[in-house]
A and B are shown apart, each in its own frame.
Chain A
Amino acid sequence: QLQESGPGLVKPSETLSLTCTVSNGSISGGRYYYTWIRQPPGKGLEWIGTLYYSGSTSYNPSLRSRIAISVDTSKNQFSLNLTSVTAADTAVYFCAEGLNFFDPWGQGILVTVSS
């Protein structure tokens, strides 16, 4: 139901841009909450931020200055932009449905930050 897409390689200091396509049409249908979560290779999970159906967002304080999550209801997609990336941003990025807990999840996309 959710599928991440975007480049698998991003250069340091550039912007990471990912899109999550929701196949069940729930974005255009009204009330929804969608979230981005990432997982560095071999490590644990980190919440990035959540998009509310009202258009508002909540972000991880540690990333807030660099992230933006937006929605395109006409395409049933929501997006993540992460600016000024470094090697520490190398991770599998997941999109998921939910506000407080998450189900379902996309399969994830590995994004490597390297020159």
Chain B
Amino acid sequence: DIQMTQSPSSLSASVGDRVTITCRANHDISTYLSWYQQKPGKAPKLLIFDTSNSQTGVPSRFSGTGSVTHFTLTISSLQPEDVATYYCQHYDILPPRKLTFGQGTRLE
């Protein structure tokens, strides 16, 4: 089974900081990875799909890179409204399909 491990589990940063969150897979997942932002009491919001493609309307300070087993989400200049938990998510393209989320990174 594919397992996704995010690091760190939590981090504290200041407005204007550059923040990087890492997601590692235990097997090669190509670029089949997405990133979500979840604020307390809200549904997750899609930020990035297929490793580096920004969803429409997502601020340009959010970017994603990576391949194979190592992926990163970067916030270039942290804003107060970016306080949230961030999840990576992998999807299989071959049957039996399975989708797996990372355990989350809490950004304060």
Q: Confirm or deny: A30 has a beta carbon within 8 angstroms of a beta carbon on chain B.
A: no
When the two chains form their complex, are residues A44 and B102 in contact, meaning their CB atoms are under 8 A apart?
A: yes
Question: Chain B, interface size: which category?
Answer: 20 to 34
| A residues less than 8 Å from B89 (CB atoms) | 45, 101
Interface size on A, residues (CB 8 A): 19
Does A105 sit at the interface, judged by CB under 8 A?
yes
Chain B residues positioned under 8 Å from A45 (CB to CB)? 36, 44, 87, 89, 101, 104
The stretch from B18-26, B65-73, B91-99 touching chain A is B91-99
Q: Which of B51-95 contact A (CB under 8 A)?
A: 55, 87, 89, 91, 93, 95
> In the complex, are the beta carbons of B101 and A46 less than 8 A apart?
yes
B residues in contact (CB < 8 Å) with A: 32, 34, 36, 42-46, 49-50, 55, 87, 89, 91, 93, 95-104
> Whole-angstrom distance between the alpha carbons of A101 and B35 in the complex?
9
For chain A residues 1-49, which have a beta carbon within 8 Å of chain B?
A: 44-47
Q: CB < 8 Å: which of A47, A101, A105 contacts B98?
A: A47
Would you list 13 pairs from A and B whose C-beta atoms are within 8 A, ordered by A residue?
Answer: A44-B102, A44-B103, A45-B36, A58-B96, A61-B96, A96-B43, A100-B32, A100-B34, A100-B49, A101-B46, A101-B50, A107-B43, A108-B43
Docked Cα-Cα span, A102 to B97, in Å, equals 15
